[in-house]
Chain A
Amino acid sequence: EPEVTQTPSHQVTQMGQEVILRCVPISNHLYFYWYRQILGQKVEFLVSFYNNEISEKSEIFDDQFSVERPDGSNFTLKIRSTKLEDSAMYFCASSVWDRDNSPLHFGNGTRLTVT
């Protein structure tokens, strides 16, 4: 079964550094998302992306965050200057449509640790 793949599985970085988290969504999916889960907290929506632009973003997704689909297969999340509170599991997800009968498919996540 097709799956969403994320790399790396674990990233350690120093505060203030830039990080790029990478994702390869399922090939026939059109909508892409980033969610995050801080340890012990709920999964939170960050951003949705369609047709090469952001369709919706949460309050968490400030100017330090950006997303890009640099080619036909990859979808990336960049954090420009990481903070300690950015430490979390970041999940990429994709869906065929952005409609009420189109389930989300998640990757296994990238655990980001900011020291």
Chain B
Amino acid sequence: KQEVTQIPAALSVPEGENLVLNCSFTDSAIYNLQWFRQDPGKGLTSLLLIQSSQREQTSGRLNASLDKSSGRSTLYIAASQPGDSATYLCAVSPYGAAGNKLTFGGGTRVLVKP
């Protein structure tokens, strides 16, 4: 059974510092890995999707890498801003199941201090 783990559970950094968020998964047979942002009381916003054949994806200040063989993904957020404060979730789509039947990690709660 696929397990997704995110460490650390919480992170506090001063504004301007780069953020590094980690995600690990136990079964490398995946279609894709997705990173989401969740603000308090809100839904999940899709940030990046990395297909299993890709090594990384970039969008603005965000960069996500995927090492499928070791079961790891890292989300980098450059030059963090207070508006980046949120919970970041990673999720994997298992091979052989419905493409968006996602298994989620527990999230990393990020606080960027001005």
Give me the interface of A with B, judged by CB distance under 8 Å: 4, 6, 31, 33, 35, 41-45, 48, 55-56, 58, 91, 93, 95, 97-109
B43 within 8 A of A: yes
Interface size class of B (residues with CB under 8 A): 20 to 34
Q: How far is the CA of A97 from the CA of B98 in the complex (A)?
A: 10
Q: How far is the CA of A56 from the CA of B97 in the complex (A)?
A: 8
**Nearest chain A CB to B33 CB, angstrom units:** 10
B74 within 8 A of A: no
Partner of A101, one of B4, B41, B49: B49
Q: In the complex the two chains form, is A45's CB within 8 Å of B34's CB?
A: no
Q: In the complex the two chains form, is B34's CB within 8 Å of A108's CB?
A: no
Give me the interface of B with A, judged by CB distance under 8 Å: 4, 31-32, 34, 36, 41-46, 49, 51-52, 89, 91, 93, 97-107
* Given A42-B105, A43-B91, A100-B31, CB of A106 within 8 Å of CB of B44: yes
